[in-house]
Amino acid sequence: MFHKVFQRVLLTINHLKKNKISLTLLGGLLFLLVSAPQGFARYRAHYLKVYDEIGQITWEIVTGLPPKNYLSSIRRGVGISAIIKASWICKGNTSFKKVCPLPSPLEPKFAIGDLVEVKLTKHITDAWKGVVEIVLWREDLNSNVYGIRFLANQQFLYGNYYEINLTPADIANSKN
């Protein structure tokens, strides 16, 4: 068996020697396949909040699936939706492994439960006040990212913001 495979490989090499471009291309591809580092494997993890309007329940989950794929995988009917509360990059070969955990923030200015105000000039959420729900370090952005749940006047909307775009909110004037 091995002898036949070896003969076939030799015939292929002899054929390729006649065409030097093909041999160079084959050698280059072989080199890339052998020398490709495994350290570049990565995927995005998502922290989802799922709403089931019919069953009147909500739950949160960390998954490697985007919301649309996650909702398809749980095979629920109509009336179910999800929002991404946070996402981050997991590195390495993650085949058949659990999703990597939410990255811890690096020296955060705000903690979960803090009241903050958005400072983004000319943005619809400028001066909106909300409560910090999630804090994580995003290495790809080189920044802490905060998940903010806005207060009643903004109908409890949710958004993610960089640390630089947030300030402590004035508790006395937090009517929004």
SS3 content of the chain, % helix, strand, coil (to 5): 30, 35, 35
Q: What is the mean pLDDT of residues 139-154?
A: 86
Cα torsion for 150, 152, 154, 157, to the nearest 10°?
Answer: 50
Determine contact, residues 154/176, Cβ cutoff 8 Å: yes
Please report the pLDDT score of residue 96 as a whole number.
Answer: 74
Dig out the tokens for 64 from the structure.
């490697």
Least confident of 52-56, 112-116, 125-129: 52-56
Q: What was the pLDDT predicted at 147?
A: 94
Going by the DSSP 8-state scheme, the letter that residue 33 receives in this structure is: H
141 dihedral zone (left: phi>0; alpha: psi -120 to 50; beta): alpha
- pLDDT score of 109 more than 70: yes
pTM above 0.85, yes or no: no
3-class SS at 15?
A: helix
pLDDT of res. 77: 67
Question: Which residue would you say has higher pLDDT here, 28 or 175?
Answer: 28
User: Residue 79 and residue 52: Cα distance in Å, rounded?
Assistant: 6
> Rounded to whole angstroms, how far apart are CA atoms 42 and 94?
8
Q: Which residue has the higher pLDDT, 62 or 97?
A: 62
The answer to whether residue 4 scores a pLDDT higher than 80 is no
Orientation of helix 20-35 relative to helix 2-17, angle to 10°: 130
Residue with the two structure tokens 């002898």:
3
State CA 86 to chain mean position distance: 7
Annotated domain spans of the chain: 2-36, 38-101, 103-176
Q: Which amino acid is at 118?
A: V
Task: Indicate whether 132 pLDDT > 60.
Answer: yes
Q: How confident is the model at residue 118 (pLDDT cuts 50, 70, 90)?
A: very high
User: What is the reported pLDDT for 86?
Assistant: 92
For domain 103-176, give the fold.
SH3 type barrels. (2.30.30)
Give the model's pLDDT for residue 114: 95
Question: What are the backbone angles phi and psi of residue 123, rounded to the nearest 5°?
Answer: -115, 145
φ, ψ dihedrals at 94, nearest 5°: -110, 20
Task: Give the chain's end-to-end CA distance (angstroms, integer).
Answer: 78
